[in-house]
Structure formats: C-alpha cells, structure tokens
Amino acid sequence: MSVTILKHALITHKLTNIRKKETNTKDFYHNVNEIASLMAYEITKDFPLKEIEIETPICKTIQYEMKDELVIVPILRAGLGMVDGLRNAIPTAKVGFIGLYRNEKTLEPVEYYAKFPDNIASDDTITLVVDPMLATGGSAIAAIDMIKKRGAKHIRFACLVAAPIGVDSLSKAHPDVDIYVAALDEKLNEVGYIVPGLGDCGDRLFGTK
C-alpha cells in the first residue's frame, strides 16, 4: 500500500480554481475533469505492460501496450465528476457505479445501487475507485468492501482533496489499496467538512443545494 500526494503545478493551480467560492458550476466541473485527467498519468504510470510485435512504416519492432484493463468506479454522486476526465486520458476504461447512503439509526453504510462491468473480478483488471473528497473515509472504506465482495483484486483509490484522518482510516481498513490524493488538507471541522476544502463537491458539480 502507498499514499501518493500529487505535487504538480497544474493540479495545484486548478485546485485553487475549484476552492474559490465564486467559481460557477460550469468552471467547477471543467476544472475537476482536467484535474482527473492529470491525475490519470500518475495513477497509471506503473501499470503493467506486455510485449507485442508491430510494424511501423519502417520495419517490424517489439513494443509495449497496457496489459490490464481498467475499470473506473465512481462513488455516487460526486465521483461522477471525475469520470470524464479519467476517460479522456484512458478511453478504453470501462465504468462501474456504486451508490451508498448512511442508515440514520445504525450509522452503517447501505448500498442502494451497484452495477459493474463483467471483468471487474478478472486477474487482469485494475479497479480505480474515485470520489472527490476523502473526509472520514467511511464511504470509501464501505465502497471498497463492497467491490471486493464482487471479486475485485487490484484496487486503487483516487480523490481530489483529503483530510489526514480519512487517509489514515482508509489505509488501515484496506492496506492493500494504493491511494492517490491531489491535495492533503489540514483537518475536518466540527460538522465533518474538510478544511480548507472546497465545500460540498456534489452540490458544486451539479448546481444543487
């Protein structure tokens, strides 16, 4: 397991844009997609490759292509905001979906929707779970629990902004899952928002309240 905090000038610049409270829905969504595309390069840099023989206009040659397939699984609904950006960088990726809500009495996460490509349990598939915010870590942990029950073996998690407690909780619950974070913020406030954060990402992506 590893935790990678991405240090890239373009990512930092675009994160600043989405942190601003005056950023409108269109610009917020556009910047989230661009950040996800930039993150894709770091997330996939160590993906396994396989040899293939091709023929260039000059000669035959042994080159390399991706060995494994990628399945992107956004945690509904905010995770949807990262999907297009990732698929711009990796257009062959398939997409699954998982929706969770918290039972008000038990406080346990409950799955209300799940749909995945057939290859999610394959040894040759890498599953990338995405959610823009990693606050307490509860939703990410529950989603990965549920994806593992479907047979997923090689799982990574990516988010835009994380609180230290969320990274720590996810690392302890799923030590086999590599975590990629665009920015590690200071803390959670008394109502569970990441500080300084960027507000409610779902509402800002889709213009809801």
Active-site residues: which are they? 102, 106, 200, 203
- What is the C-alpha separation between 76 and 200, in angstroms, rounded? 13
- What is the C-alpha separation between 125 and 69, in angstroms, rounded? 5
- What is the C-alpha separation between 167 and 149, in angstroms, rounded? 22
- What is the C-alpha separation between 121 and 147, in angstroms, rounded? 9
